[in-house]
Amino acid sequence: MPELPEVTGLVAFLAERLDSLAVEGVELASITVLKTFDPPPQALAGAPVDGVSRHGKFVDIDCDGIHLVFHLAKAGWLRWYDEVPKTPARPGKGPIALRVRLSDGSGFDLTEAGTRKSLAAYLVRDPADVPGIAALGPDPLADDFTRERFAEVLAGQKGQIKGILRDQRIIAGIGNAYSDEILHAARVSPFALVTRLDDDALDRVYEALRAVLAGAVLAATGRPAAELKDAKRQGMRVHGRTGQECPECGDVVREVSFADRSLQYCATCQTGGKPLADRRTSAFLK
């Protein structure tokens, strides 16, 4: 799933290419991708692109006051064309969900692999009309997301630190991959209860959060959309690297599997050398 750094890179990519252009048309190839009905897709025809921005993991293209907002979900992506195929995007079994044609002949498709379709697009007059945006927590790279603000955000939370980092209502933009990376850099167990983390551990999580995300944004900035996924994979130190050496201590990177995802961690760096139980509990293997 694209997370804050990749979405930031994608926004920069689109902002550069959509500058001074207008939307020629929007074609729906999936009957479920568009979650709104007013304004209709036809309202974008001829609208100039005024800007591109990010809200958490959402991309927001402002077209003369009408916002095309999309969330790429787990298996979605954007395919850019310097020249869009002339054949209209039609409903079917292919990966294309939505196509945008621009005034210079360029454009892009929103695509989604697999059978579980969760990519979502919205046409709204105010981005806050998108429920997922309205519910977002603070942006972790915002200037005002200080250590004190981080403490305020965590106040009253009782869950495991990894789940809290991934909860978009608490902090916007972090998903499964970067929560693994942040906690590895902070030397904190993904199963640690936030109520049991002392100030030193929370300092480390905050500093790692800012550093890991900032570094990943820097790596993503200036890359074409087609390269952002690979750049994310290459930048991972533990996530997706089960069985490989931890780059910090040389121990093996371990995994905990769940029904629809997995997490990776280093026992030496994060759990005092004790492997975590591979089940939905915070207990250690005995």
Catalytic choice (2, 5, 95, 190): 2
Catalytic choice (57, 162, 232, 237): 57
Mark whether 95 is an active-site residue. Answer: no
Bridge partner list, 102: 23
Mark whether 261 is an active-site residue. Answer: yes
d(CA 184, CA 238): 7
Mark whether 152 is an active-site residue. Answer: no
Question: What's the alpha-carbon Rg for the chain, to the nearest Å?
Answer: 20
Mark whether 27 is an active-site residue. Answer: no
Residues 6 or more apart whose CB falls under 8 angstroms from that of 137 comprise 153, 167, 168, 169, 170, 171, 172
d(CA 179, CA 237): 12
Catalytic choice (90, 233, 261, 279): 261
CA neighbours within 13 Å on the CB side: how many for 100? 28
The residues assigned a catalytic role are 2-3, 57, 261
